Structure formats: structure tokens, C-alpha cells
Amino acid sequence: MSDFAITVEPLKCLRNDYAYNECSICINICPQKAITTRKGKLAIDENSCTLCHGCVGVCPTEALESSKFEPNFFIAKEISIENSELKQKLIGETLKLSCKDMGVCLSVFDSSHLISLSLKSNRKIEADLSACNECDLNKQDKLKIAIDAAIFETNSFLKEFANKNIEVKSDKKTDRRDFFKTIFKRSTAVVEEINESVEKPKTKLPLKRILLKNAIKEAIEDTNRFVSGDYSFSISKTIDKSCTNCKSCVEFCPTNALFYSNDFSKIYFQSGKCIDCSICNDICEPKAFVDGYEHDMSMFAFDKAATAIEHNLIVCKRCKMAFASKEGEEICPKCEEFDRDFSYMFMTAEEIEALEKKKS
């Protein structure tokens, strides 16, 4: 096991769940090109990696783990400070998110982290981006683009759901040498403060998603239940009639967002468990999935299931197995395919000759 601050947890990576998955979000954001694939699996070049933590923030399954800074634990720690005794005192105060104070780039947070923190906190949230434009870590502006996208989606959601927002500070200039000296000095103290005596939960669903759903549950009311915006964390899926009921999408879904009814006639979908990995879309041969966005936050936060498709199941007259009949067919597609491709194997020479004459 590597002692490097950032490691890859293979069992969480989407490339491990489905061999043909080509998720490259972490590869694309890395300004140093320190993340590559070896035999289809992720690998980190420790000599090139600057520990900016952008990859930690964007990974949908939290497969990239850090011993230096864990964003979920940072949020949990900040919220835990706001107990009943401090609650009134903290109202109107500002919680500043600064790379200089945290020891890592703000790209370590995605919109799920920022929304959870904003909804749960009684303080104003301020993101200090004053060092971004001159930061040596921010090559090709990759990290700044990720931060801007996360803050934009966060504020768009907060505006219509909770009438809150994250303030952005970007006007102050910082001495570059002093900045890097401070950020790496601070990183050691941060890991001691945040990661002390905290165990990560054993779950397929990313912890940031659990925190987000819990935050929305506490804030949801009839007046803000429905949102109009399309948000990356709240996906909807339906399945059209081209579905063959092969069960592959359900079997390969890494978070169990897709599941069957007891009689296997329906496939249900839970928006709150979907991480938009697209494995179901990729594995579906007839390409039956139709993607959209879930605008009912009660469906998302409380893991309510929606019917993605309902099949008319009948028993095949040949193999006696249940299958999804589209237009009243009595023979399943597998048996029809077998008859078409292998029927000659069970025919006599005379029968084959008679069949050929009939065709001609």
C-alpha cells in the first residue's frame, strides 16, 4: 500500500465496476497529467502529482482518497462546531473557504459538498479565489474552471431552494512564494484537525451524496420541493419499449439505483442513488435508456423509486421461461434466435432437402 497522500481505491473506481467504462474525469482535471491508466486501471505518478486534490473533488465515486484532506470530514467538522450553544453566536458570521487556510485547492469540493455545507451551516460561506489566477498549480486554468462550475451550480440550486448563496472573493493579490510556503505548512495541521478518529463508512454510495441528501431532507418544504434547474447530482432515467429485460443494467449498477420488482416485471429507478456513471446506458444493447433530470427534491432526497419501465411478462412456450412480450409473442427472442441459427442440427437430411426445395 502506497504512503502517498492520494491513493486510488480500486473497488470504488468505475473502471473496476465495468471493464468497458472509460471514465476519465480525474485524468482530465489533473493539471500535471499525473493520472494515467495502466491496463485499464488508474495510476498516479507520485513524482508529477502536486497534491492539488482536484481529482479528489471531481471523482463521482470517491475512489480517489486523501490522507491529507477529506472534504466530507471537513464539512462534518464545521457543522459539528455549530452546536446549540454556538448557534446564535455564529449567525451572521462568515466561514471562509481558502486554499491558504486548508492547505489544498478549493477544487477538492464539488457542488454536493458546497450545497451540503451551505444548507447545514448558520454562517455565510465565502470562497476565496484571490490566488487562483496566479497559482502555479492552476495550469491551463483547469482547477479554476472546476471551482467556478461547482460554485455556479451550487448558487443556482441554493437560489431557488433555500435563498442562500456562496460569496466569491477574487480581488486580493497574494505573494506567490509566501502563498506556497503557507499552504504546505498549513496542510499538516489540517489533516490532524479533520481526520482525527474518523472512520469512513462502508457503503457503495459516496459519502458526499449521503451528506447532500441529509441536508436537503432537513431543508425541504412544500414551497421548495420542486426546482426548475437541471442539476448534475439529480438525474432521472426512464427506459423505452426497446428494452429486452436482459437484467444487465440492474446487475451492473454500482450504487443499486436500478432494481427489480419482486416479479421482475418492473424496473425501478432511484434518483438519489444515481451517480450518473452511464454504465447502464453503455451496457444496454438496444440503447433503451432515456436520461433527464429529477426536479422533485423529495424523490431525490428520500430515495423514492420511480418506475422506469413495466413489462408484460409471459412464459415462453419453448423454454418455459418468463420473458417480456412486446406484441403478444409466445416465443421468447432467445428461442427464436436458436431456431433461426441452429434448427438444422435437429433435422434429418430429407427434412433439410425438403426445406431447401420449399425455399427455392
Bigger pLDDT: 122 or 26? 26
Average pLDDT over residues 266-280: 95
Grid coordinates of 85: 450553544
Domain C-terminal end among 219, 250, 270: 219
Angstrom CA distances, 253 to 123, 249, 300, stand at 38, 6, 17
Based on the domain organization, do 122 and 166 belong to the same domain? yes
What percentage of the chain reaches a pLDDT higher than 70?
86
Chain centre distance of CA 143 = 19
Q: Is residue 66 part of a domain?
A: yes
Domain C-terminal end among 219, 244, 264: 219
pLDDT value, residue 350: 78
Bigger pLDDT: 140 or 352? 140
Q: Is residue 351 part of a domain?
A: yes
Burial bucket for residue 111 (CB in 10 Å: 0-12, 13-18, 19+): buried
Give me the domain span that covers residue 336.
313-359
Mean pLDDT of the chain: 86
Digit-coded pLDDT (tens) for 172-186: 555 544 544 444 444
What is the count of structural domains for the chain? 3
Based on the domain organization, do 211 and 280 belong to the same domain? no
Q: Other CB atoms closer than 10 Å to residue 210's CB: what's the count?
A: 16
In the numeric block, the cell 470562497 is attached to: 127
Q: Is residue 224 part of a domain?
A: no
HSE at residue 57, side-chain half, CA atoms within 13 A, is 29
| CA–CA dist 284, 282 (Å, integer) | 6
pLDDT value, residue 183: 43
Q: Is residue 226 part of a domain?
A: no
Q: How confident is the model at residue 39 (pLDDT cuts 50, 70, 90)?
A: confident
Digit-coded pLDDT (tens) for 138-149: 989 999 999 999
Q: Is residue 284 part of a domain?
A: yes
Q: Other CB atoms closer than 10 Å to residue 251's CB: what's the count?
A: 10
Based on the domain organization, do 297 and 284 belong to the same domain? yes
Digit-coded pLDDT (tens) for 223-258: 899 999 999 999 999 999 999 888 999 999 999 999
Q: How confident is the model at residue 11 (pLDDT cuts 50, 70, 90)?
A: confident
Grid coordinates of 292: 433527464
Query: Do residues 46 and 239 make contact, with C-beta atoms less than 8 angstroms apart?
Result: no
Based on the domain organization, do 141 and 21 belong to the same domain? yes
Digit-coded pLDDT (tens) for 162-217: 999 999 998 655 554 454 444 444 444 444 444 444 455 556 799 999 999 999 99
Based on the domain organization, do 323 and 257 belong to the same domain? no
Q: State the DSSP H helix or E strand holding residue 187, giving kind and residue range, or none if neither.
A: helix 176-194
Based on the domain organization, do 27 and 128 belong to the same domain? yes
Based on the domain organization, do 215 and 270 belong to the same domain? no
Q: Is residue 206 part of a domain?
A: yes
pLDDT value, residue 85: 58
Based on the domain organization, do 172 and 43 belong to the same domain? yes
| CA–CA dist 339, 358 (Å, integer) | 18
Based on the domain organization, do 199 and 330 belong to the same domain? no
Based on the domain organization, do 93 and 206 belong to the same domain? yes
Q: Is residue 146 part of a domain?
A: yes
Q: Is residue 74 part of a domain?
A: yes
The reported pTM is 0.83
Based on the domain organization, do 287 and 335 belong to the same domain? no
pLDDT value, residue 314: 87
| Phi, psi of 39, rounded to the nearest 5 degrees | 55, 40
Domain C-terminal end among 273, 288, 310: 310
pLDDT value, residue 302: 97
Based on the domain organization, do 182 and 320 belong to the same domain? no
